[in-house]
C-alpha cells in the first residue's frame, strides 16, 4: 500500500513501515500536561504528528490516532494550590486553551483524547501485574516503585546503560527506593495534597506516576502492542523508556514497533522550555503572525531536526507562503481530484514517504508554483492546492490569505478593506487625471500602512497585506 519509511528511534535507522494489521495504523502520541498555555515548542509536536496522521490517511491507511491529556501531575497540583482553585478548574481552563491553539494551527482533533484521571483502574491493574512479576515493590515511604534492574531491556530506546546512570542524577537517594534508578508507579498520598488527587488502591491512597498513565491509556485504547508511538525528543528518556519497561514487563511482549520523536525548537541554541523561561506561547506568536505561517515555519524543517525560532524565520515563512497563494490567485484550480500519478505528485509522495520529509515536499510545491506562473495551468493549480492540503496548507482562498483575513493580525495596518479600496479608487482617479505624483503618494502611503499594490495588465489593481 505504501513505500513509507520511518526513522525508528528504537532501531536508530529508517525502516520500511509495515503495520501490524494490513491497511490499519494505531498511533499514540504523548500530549499536553495542562497547567499552563502551550508554547511554540508544544505547537511543533502538535503540528508534526498532525502532519503524520494526515499523510498516513492520504496514503490509504485507516488510522486510529490517540493523543492523551495529562490532567494529574505534580506541576498541576502545585499550580492549582498556588491559584487557590481545584485541579479540575485549572485543567479544564487549559484544555480549552490548548484546543483553541491547536485549532488555530490547523491541527485536526485526534480520534481519541483520553485523560489520565479516567484511567486509574487500568493503571492499578498494570502495577499489580508488575508487582506479581517482581518488577514493582512498595517502598518504606509508601510509594510503589518499578525495579529497573529486574527488567533486562531497560535502556534499549535511549541507548543508556544502567551503569552510566549515576545515583543522584535523576532521583533523590534519600528515599525508600531500593535503587536510585527505580521510578515511581504509585505515589502515596500526602496530607498537604488536595483530596481530589487521592485514589484508593491496594497500596493505600495515592495517585499515579507520570509514565504509568501513558502505558494505561495507550493499552486501553490501542491494545498492548501497536504500530507507532510519538512525542517530543525530551520524552525519549526517561518517559518513553519507562513506558516500555512498564508495558513490556507487564505483558511479556513488544509494546510498540516504531518510535518517533520530533526535535526541539531552540532560542539562541537552547531548547525552548518553561523551566528555562525562554519560551513564547502559541497565542503570543499568533498576535504577530498568521496561524498558517506558523504551521509553515514548523513544517519547512524536518521533524527530527532542531528548529531555530526567530522573527526573521517567521517573516521568511510568510513570504514563502505568499508565493504559493499568489500562484493560486493568478490561476484558479480546476475541480478535478488529485492526480496521484502526475509527476509533481509522485515527487511529493517520494519526499513524504522518506520519513515525512516535509522540506522536500514543500520544495515540490514551489516548483509547482513556478510552473503555474509560466503555464497558467488550472490542472497544476489544482495539484498545488491539493498537495498543499496534505500538509494542512492552502485551505483558504488566496484573496483571504493575501488580504490577511481570518488572521489574528488581519487589521495590523489599521485600515479596513473598504478604506483600502477607497484609496485604490482615489489612486486610479489620480492616474486618469495624469496626476502621477498624487497616485505615487497614495501608493507610498498604503505601503507605509502595510498594504502592497500590484497593477495588472488589464488595468486592475490588486492588493495584499505585507
Q: What is the grid cell recorded at 384?
A: 498545488
Q: 30 a known binding residue? A: yes
User: Quick one: how many helices (H) and strands (E) in the chain?
Assistant: 15, 15
Phi/psi class of residue 13: alpha, beta or left (left: φ > 0; alpha: ψ in -120 to 50)?
A: beta
CB 27 within 8 A of CB 64: yes
Cis peptide before 238 (omega within 30 of 0): yes
Q: 38 a known binding residue? A: no
First to last CA, the chain: 43
Q: What is the grid cell recorded at 82?
A: 498556588
Beta-strand relationship, 461-465 and 451-455: antiparallel
Cβ neighbour number for residue 345 with a 10 Å cutoff: 18
- Which are the contacts of 163, defined by CB distance < 8 A and separation ≥ 6? none
Closest CA to 39 of 286, 281, 288, 311: 281
- Residue 290 CA to chain centroid, in angstroms? 17
Cis peptide before 105 (omega within 30 of 0): no
CB 442 within 8 A of CB 426: yes
Beta-strand relationship, 24-29 and 270-271: unpaired
Q: What whole-number distance in Å separates Cα of residue 342 and Cα of residue 335?
A: 16
DSSP 8-state assignment for residue 217: H
Q: 271 a known binding residue? A: no
Binding annotation for ATP: 274
Binding residues, as ranges, are 30, 214, 239, 243, 274
Residues making up the annotated binding site for Zn(2+) are 30, 214, 239, 243
Amino acid at each position: 500500500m505504501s513505500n513509507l519509511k520511518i526513522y525508528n528511534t528504537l532501531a536508530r535507522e529508517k525502516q520500511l513501515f509495515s503495520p501490524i494489521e494490513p491497511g490499519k495504523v494505531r498511533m499514540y502520541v504523548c500530549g499536553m500536561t495542562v497547567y499552563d498555555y502551550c508554547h511554540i515548542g508544544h505547537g511543533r509536536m502538535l503540528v508534526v504528528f498532525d502532519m503524520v496522521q494526515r499523510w498516513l490517511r492520504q496514503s490509504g491507511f485507516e488510522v486510529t490516532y490517540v493523543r492523551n491529556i495529562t490532567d494529574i501531575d505534580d506541576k498541576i497540583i502545585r499550580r492549582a494550590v498556588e491559584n487557590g482553585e481545584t485541579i479540575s478548574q485549572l485543567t479544564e481552563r487549559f484544555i480549552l486553551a490548548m484546543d483553541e491553539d491547536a485549532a488555530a494551527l490547523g491541527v485536526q482533533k485526534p480520534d481519541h483524547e483520553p485523560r489520565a484521571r479516567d484511567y486509574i483502574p487500568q493503571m492499578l491493574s498494570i502495577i499489580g501485574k508488575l508487582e506479581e512479576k517482581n518488577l514493582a515493590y512498595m517502598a518504606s515511604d509508601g510509594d510503589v516503585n518499578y525495579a529497573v534492574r529486574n527488567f533486562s531491556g531497560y535502556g534499549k530506546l535511549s541507548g543508556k546503560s544502567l551503569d552510566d546512570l549515576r545515583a543522584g542524577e535523576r532521583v533523590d537517594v534519600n528515599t525508600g527506593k531500593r535503587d536510585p534508578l527505580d521510578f515511581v508507579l504509585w505515589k502515596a498520598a500526602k496530607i498537604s495534597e488536595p483530596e481530589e488527587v487521592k485514589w484508593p488502591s491496594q497500596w493505600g491512597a495515592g495517585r499515579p506516576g507520570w509514565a504509568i498513565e501513558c502505558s494505561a491509556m495507550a493499552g486501553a485504547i490501542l491494545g498492548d502492542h501497536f504500530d507507532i508511538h510519538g512525542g517530543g525528543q525530551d520524552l525519549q528518556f526517561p518517559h518513553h523508556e519507562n513506558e516500555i519497561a512498564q508495558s513490556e514487563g507487564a505483558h511479556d511482549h513488544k509494546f510498540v514497533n516504531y518510535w518517533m520523536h520530533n526535535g526541539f525548537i531552540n532560542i539562541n541554541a537552547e531548547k525552548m522550555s518553561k523551566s528555562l523561561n525562554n519560551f513564547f506561547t502559541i497565542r503570543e506568536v499568533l498576535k504577530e503572525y498568521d496561524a498558517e505561517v506558523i504551521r509553515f515555519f514548523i513544517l519547512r524543517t524536518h521533524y527530527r531536526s532542531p528548529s531555530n525560532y526567530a522573527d526573521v524565520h517567521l517573516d521568511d515563512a510568510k513570504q514563502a507562503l505568499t508565493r504559493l497563494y499568489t500562484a493560486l490567485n493568478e490561476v484558479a484550480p480546476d475541480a478535478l481530484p488529485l492526480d496521484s500519478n502526475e509527476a509533481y505528485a509522485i515527487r511529493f509522495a517520494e519526499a513524504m514517504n522518506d520519513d515525512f520529509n516535509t522540506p522536500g515536499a514543500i520544495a515540490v510545491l514551489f516548483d509547482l508554483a513556478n510552473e503555474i506562473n509560466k503555464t497558467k495551468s488550472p490542472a497544476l493549480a489544482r495539484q498545488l492546492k491539493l498537495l498543499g492540503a496534505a500538509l494542512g496548507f492552502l485551505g483558504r482562498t488566496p484573496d483571504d490569505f493575501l488580504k490577511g483575513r481570518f488572521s489574528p493580525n488581519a487589521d495590523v495596518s489599521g485600515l479596513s478593506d473598504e478604506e483600502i479600496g477607497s484609496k485604490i479608487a482615489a489612486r486610479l482617479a489620480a492616474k486618469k487625471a495624469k496626476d502621477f505624483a498624487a497616485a505615487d503618494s497614495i501608493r507610498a502611503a498604503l505601503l507605509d500602512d502595510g498594504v502592497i499594490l500590484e497593477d495588472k495588465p488589464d488595468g486592475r489593481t490588486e492588493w495584499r497585506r505585507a
